[in-house]
């Protein structure tokens, strides 16, 4: 094991927080993974509350909003405002998509670590 890692875990072993380096690493890793999962779930819930829908529904909503830009009858100002709103929503979609994908990855890692 690396010297830095051993030096980091040594105080925990001295205080009998963990019985071995392996246990310390395993438990600290589990805690870190759970923190990442919790943070991503918070991000996803924030998007769900903001838009009042799931990620899949939000994707459909954005497609429908983009179709509105193609419709006749929108003034130049309405088209500009709608376009700006869609761009902001697409930014949220990208962040939401990243959170969904990262959550799936961390959940998979949690399964691997739990073994």
Name the percent of the chain lying above pLDDT 90. 78
> CA–CA separation, 72 vs 78, rounded Å?
11
Question: Across residues 20-34, what is the average pLDDT?
Answer: 93
pTM, 2 dp: 0.84
Mean pLDDT of the chain: 93
Give the burial class of 31: count Cβ atoms within 10 A of its Cβ; 0-12 exposed, 13-18 middle, 19 or more buried: exposed
* Predicted pLDDT at 69: 87
Q: What is the pLDDT of residues 79-115, one digit of tens each?
A: 999 999 999 999 999 999 999 999 999 999 999 988 6
């Amino acid at each position: 094991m690396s010297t830095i890692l051993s030096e980091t875990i040594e105080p925990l072993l001295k205080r009998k927080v963990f019985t071995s380096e392996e246990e310390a690493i395993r438990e600290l890793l589990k805690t870190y993974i759970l923190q990442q999962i919790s943070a991503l779930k918070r991000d996803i819930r924030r998007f769900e509350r903001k838009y009042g829908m799931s990620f899949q529904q939000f994707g459909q909503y954005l497609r429908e909003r983009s179709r509105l830009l193609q419709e006749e009858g929108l003034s130049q100002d309405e088209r500009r405002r709608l376009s700006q709103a869609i761009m902001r929503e697409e930014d949220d979609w990208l962040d939401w998509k990243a959170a969904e994908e990262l959550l799936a990855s961390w959940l998979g890692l949690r399964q691997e670590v739990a073994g």
